[in-house]
Each structure stands twice: as C-alpha cells, then as structure tokens.
C-alpha cells in the first residue's frame, strides 16, 4: 500500500470516528422512553381552582400526569408523595415542573375535595376533573384503565386503575412512562434531562 493511500484511508477513518463521536446520542433515561407515542396528546379538564385547563397551558414546563382518586388507600397517595420528594430533589428547577393529578372518580371527587387533597402534597400540584364522559375520553386518550369495584351499589366503592405516570417535555411532547414505586431519585434525574432539552 502506498504511503499516500495509507494517509487517505487514515484521514477517512478518523473522519468517520469524529462523525460518530459528534453525533447526538439519545438521552439515557432511567424510566421507559415512549418518545413518539401516538397517544396522550392532551386533555381539556377543570382544575381544583375552577380554571379550565389543557396541556398547552403548561408549555415550557415538564409536565407529569397521574390518574387516580382521592379515596385511593395506597397507590395514589404514595405516587403523589414521591412526586413531592422529586420536587425537593429538583430544587429551583421544580418551578419548571407541573404535577397534575387527574381523578378517575368524578362522582365523588368534587372540585372542593381535590382542592383539599392534592395541594397537601405540594401547593404547586394541580388536581383536574371532568364529568364522567370527559373522564372516559381522557382516560382512553392516555390508554388508562379504570373501573369501579367492591360495593358498586352505593358510594362505598373503590376503583381499580392504571398506576403509572406520564411525563411530557417542555415542548408538550409525551416522552416517558414512569412505573409505580419508581424512586424519586430516578424520576428527578429524568426530569433534569428533559429540562436540559434532551
């Protein structure tokens, strides 16, 4: 092999290595990356202050969405408590995060009840509700399962429901699915990546 050919091949190989190194690598999320999902496109509901809300209202913030109900004995309060821990982990960056709790029990979860329940975990959290039809529509859009169980003849029923959290980036794109019982540390790490523009 001639010296000139060797030099040409060496330069070409180096260029390929540099191109590979300079190419953007996908972020290494700790939770499930669902970027590009064709569901969870939005909602139109009322928050616990009586204000009409849509996903667009929170553009510029990372948004987390969890479906539950106020009389939930364990999954819902533990999920909200974890998000409260996440906000503490984020420090000043927490101001760029909006936590939303959408009730799947509009029959019992009134605006007043949500206002007394959700902010107890963090005053910045918002509870959202709709009527039965709106709730069904939003749950379907997010592929969330819920149904009454137990004593369904009156108001002492419970509700079986999906227990994960959806995360949107500041551009309003659905990016992550967080399974129930994930650590606050791992969630905070992923939210920091999204806040950094990943």
Instruction: Kindly list the structural domains of the chain, giving each domain's residue range(s) and its CATH number in brackets, ordered by start.
Output: 27-196 (3.40.30.10)
pLDDT number for residue 24: 64
Residue 96, phi then psi, degrees to nearest 5: -105, 20
Cα–Cα nearest to 31, from 186, 164, 171, 180: 186
What is the pLDDT confidence band of residue 161, given thresholds at 50, 70 and 90?
Answer: very high
Annotated binding-site residue? 76: yes
Does residue 62 contact residue 194 with C-beta atoms inside 8 Å? yes
Element (H, E) at 80: helix 75-90
**Is the confidence at residue 62, as pLDDT, over 60?**
yes
Annotated binding-site residue? 21: no
- This prediction's pTM: 0.87
**Is the confidence at residue 6, as pLDDT, over 50?**
no
Per residue in 126-151, pLDDT (tens digit) is 999 999 999 999 999 999 999 999 99
159 CA to centre of own chain: 21
Q: How many helices and strands in the chain, by DSSP H and E?
A: 5, 10
Ranges 121-125, 150-154, 185-189: which has the least confidence:
150-154
Beta-strand relationship, 126-129 and 44-47: antiparallel
Tokens coding 145: 């399962």
């Amino acid at each position: 092999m001639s010296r000139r050919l060797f030099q040409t091949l060496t330069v070409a190989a180096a260029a390929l290595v540099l191109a590979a190194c300079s190419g953007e690598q996908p972020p290494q999320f700790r939770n499930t990356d669902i970027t590009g999902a064709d569901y969870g496109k939005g909602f139109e509901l009322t928050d616990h202050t009586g204000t009409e809300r849509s996903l667009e209202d929170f553009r510029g913030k990372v948004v987390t969405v969890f479906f539950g109900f106020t009389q939930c004995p364990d999954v819902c309060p533990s999920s909200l408590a974890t998000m409260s821990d996440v906000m503490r982990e984020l420090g000043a960056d927490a101001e760029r995060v909006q936590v939303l709790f959408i009730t799947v029990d509009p029959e019992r979860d009134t605006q007043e009840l949500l206002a007394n329940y959700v902010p107890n975990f963090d005053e910045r959290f918002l509870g959202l509700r709709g009527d039965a039809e709106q709730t069904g529509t939003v749950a379907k859009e997010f592929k969330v399962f819920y149904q009454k169980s137990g004593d369904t003849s009156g108001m002492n029923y419970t509700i079986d429901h999906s227990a994960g959290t959806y995360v949107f980036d500041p551009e309003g794109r659905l990016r992550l699915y967080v399974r129930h019982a994930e650590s606050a540390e791992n969630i905070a790490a992923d939210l920091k990546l999204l806040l950094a523009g990943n």
